[in-house]
Chains A and B, each alone.
Chain A
Amino acid sequence: VSLARFDEARRVAIFGGTHGNEMSGVTLVNLWVKNGSEIQRKMVDTKPFITNPRAVEKCTRYVDTDLNRAFTPENLSALGEGDLPYEVQRAQEINRIFGPKGSPEAYDVIFDLHNTTSNMGCTLILESSKDYFNLQMMNYIKVTDIRLKSLLKASIQLVECCFTSVNIVLCDWFIAGLEVGPQPQGVLRSNIFEAMRVILKHALDFIELFNEGVEFPTCTVEVFRVLERIDYPRDANGNIIAMVHPNLQDGDWEPLNPGDPMFLTFDGKTLHYQGSGTIYPTFINEAAYYEKQQAFVTTRRETLVASAIRKA
């Protein structure tokens, strides 16, 4: 496809607090709810929205269950109202407000703001390599802001039941998860806050330009495609028996070769990566993933071609 055409993006949502202790998104959305002038663009209706207010209030990731895994078809159609887990109720509510997919009221673009304790820099999480709109937006941001050129990465991963699973929920087109780190949960760091703010500014500028009819020519974008999740070594009772090795810690997006140190046991023994080829690890030592059995995620580096895009 040499030129892909899409309808203009008229309704844009910015979600913060999907995890209540990821403070950059919580703070930005609260700011913009109070005063949204910074996020307004010509001919675009931008709505900032706190998705998990109870978790935000308690400064915790979730109250009953992870909201970003709650968007299953079963959950969205479940009956029971107030008896349902809090986040399932929220998922249904959010689906009502911003979707559902296919309806004329559905939002066109949704940004879901996250932080990570991993040293990932700024990562746009996409669910498909055919996501030309988001790939072009990535390219635009990197080209426009020299500081983000190396800092901004794109990762393709299908994480079931979260916002970025377009085929399950919400809007017709484009959901982008924006993950910025490293930042401890519950902490607001000024550099991380500013980076997220700047990325969103450029993203909204891109949408405005697109809506005005600008054609973005074909481009190549480097992406990291998620392969598998690697858990911590555990004992027979399921307790962790080793930590991310100091050589791997903070090494997100750097090559991990077969034989490289991977884990360090509590009594000082090194465990090595046993894979068959070089991979690019990410989400290294994310606090929230201990309970999801995930020490880090392996990716393969790819270069994708995004077709030119233009408003229909």
Chain B
Amino acid sequence: TSSRICERGADVAVCGGTHGNELSGVYLVRELLKAKDIVMEEEREEPASVLMVLANPRAMQQCRRYVDTDLNRCFTHATLNGPISDSAPYEMTRSRELNAMLGPKGSPGAVDLVCDLHNTTANMGLCLILSLACLFQRQMPDVPMRFIHFDVSSKESYSLDSVGKHGFAMEIGPQPHGVVRSNIYTAMKDGVQHMLDWVRLFNSGTIFEAGFVDVFTIVKNIDYPRDSETHNITATIHPQLQDRDFLLLHPDDALFQTFSGETLRYKGNEPLYPFFVNECAYYEKGIALSLARKNTVAYHNMAFKVHS
């Protein structure tokens, strides 16, 4: 066994509105900020270790995913540190502001944990998306939770949650963009609360035992069939696949249904787990669904020790 030692209490940033039309996070962070204001007014001791951030206010105001470019792709080292012109996309300027606030990425001053709140139109339930082995392992009894692993080195990571020393995106669906569904909001609120509770336990010296967790590691993305001239899609996700995120897709299972009624089938060699099935924002990224392998991952003992 091994334990990892941290120098001080972990601080956390909770970010909503990275995509301005993913409303659970927008409303939750707004409410948390309101509650914080009330606490300040009552002059109670405010734990400085939780930062609440509305990441893309201009996109939020317009209830759009982004104004110029996807903010959640603007956190590579190159984008954060390269030259920037006056006419740069809004989100590029904003990503630098967020990097100054929560980072700088890769430096000792960066926030310990970034939790970035998202919604998806896919039927994914509650997922945590990680690019590094995350410290956070805490189940909510009534809500199944899944871990999704994107295998990128920290140099190539492009998302907001990569600014902190550790980070993850909390993704909850299905919810249409521009809509707040109460069950989804409640699930996200509970998820964030559990995460903050975990951090408090961690800061108070609790030892978290080593263990195992199932993780879905992304293997590939599949695009819609498209018209060669117009690039418009020529099929929909097949009704037998729609809403069946994380149910094993076998070779030859139905994948798409063309507009003329033909079924197109999965031609891969191995059964894989689909997710982000029919996510609205991914049409323009050329992704109809993502496919993952399920792995069991071991994680270490975790404890917080104060240096004497």
Contacts and interface: CB of A to CB of B under 8 A. Distances in A.
Given A185-B280, A290-B63, A243 B185 contact: yes
B96 interface: no
Nearest to A290: B178
A246 B182 contact: yes
A134 to B, nearest CB: 27
Interface stretch (A90-98, A188-196, A272-280): A188-196
Q: Range of interface residues on chain A?
A: 20 to 34
Contact of A249 (B121, B174, B183, B236): B183
The secondary-structure label for the interface of chain B is loop
A186 B281 CA distance: 8
B31 A27 contact: no
A272 to B, nearest CB: 15
B179 interface: yes
Contacts of B63: 290-291
A187 B175 CA distance: 12
Contact of A190 (B121, B177, B242): B242
Given A184-B121, A189-B242, A31 B178 contact: no
Given A185-B177, A287-B176, A288-B178, A190 B237 contact: yes
A243 B182 contact: yes
Interface string B169-201: 000001111111111010000000000000000
A184 B185 contact: no
A116 to B, nearest CB: 10
A264 B182 contact: yes
The secondary-structure label for the interface of chain A is loop
Interface in A242-299: 243-246, 249, 264, 266-267, 285, 287-288, 290-291
B186 to A, nearest CB: 8
A185 B182 contact: no
A291 B247 CA distance: 37
Q: Range of interface residues on chain B?
A: 20 to 34
Interface in B147-186: 174-183, 185
A30 interface: yes
A218 interface: no
Nearest to B62: A60
B109 interface: no
Given A188-B233, A287-B177, 5 more contacts: A117-B178, A185-B178, A186-B283, A187-B280, A291-B63
Interface of B: 27-28, 30-31, 63-64, 121, 174-183, 185, 232-233, 236-239, 242, 257, 259, 278, 280-281, 283-284
Interface of A: 27, 30-31, 59-60, 117, 182-191, 193, 239-240, 243-246, 249, 264, 266-267, 285, 287-288, 290-291
List 9 tightest A-B contacts by C-beta distance, closest first.
A184-B176, A287-B178, A186-B280, A190-B236, A243-B182, A117-B176, A184-B121, A287-B179, A266-B31
